[in-house]
């Protein structure tokens, strides 16, 4: 499993992080099985450089137990998984700004009431 994790990290970071079996250790943080049943929504593999004990990357293996699905995500500044997440976040942020802008326009353009003469009834101006 060590080689598989190293290959995944190398692939997802476009060779910017290149762990191998001689220079890195991998530590697994996961749930154990309890009374013969294992519910494990996520397992974390910490890729640690042995020389300075620095965490180089983390692989989060997310599982959807009932459907036997499993997806690995590499948590590293140069990971393609991180770039995808940033793009999604940026798109959501842009959409939120646009929604806020539209809301403020609609708040400012509510039916305005203008009265020229106190004896006359107010006129309503509809902008939309």
List, for residues 32-88, the tens digit of each pLDDT value. Answer: 888 888 788 899 999 999 999 999 998 998 988 777 888 888 888 777 775 454 555
Q: Which helix (H) or strand (E) holds 8?
A: helix 2-12
- DSSP helix/strand/coil, 91: helix
Tokens for 112? 């305005």
d(CA 48, CA 26): 6
d(CA 49, CA 6): 12
- pTM value? 0.58
The number of beta carbons lying within 10 Å of the beta carbon of residue 9 is 28
Please choose, from the candidates 80, 87, 85, the residue with its C-alpha nearest in 3D space to the C-alpha of residue 13. 80
């Amino acid at each position: 499993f060590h080689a598989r994790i190293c290959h995944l990290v190398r692939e997802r970071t476009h060779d910017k992080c290149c762990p191998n079996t001689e220079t890195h250790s991998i530590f697994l943080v996961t749930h154990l099985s309890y009374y013969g049943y294992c519910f494990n929504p996520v397992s974390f593999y910490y890729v640690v450089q042995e020389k300075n004990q620095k965490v180089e990357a983390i692989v989060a293996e997310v599982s959807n137990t009932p459907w036997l699905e499993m997806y690995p995500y590499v948590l590293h500044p140069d990971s393609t998984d991180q770039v995808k997440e940033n793009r999604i976040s940026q798109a959501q942020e842009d959409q939120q700004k646009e929604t806020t802008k539209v809301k403020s326009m609609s708040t400012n353009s509510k039916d305005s009431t203008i009265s020229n003469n106190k004896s006359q009834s107010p006129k309503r101006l509809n902008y939309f």
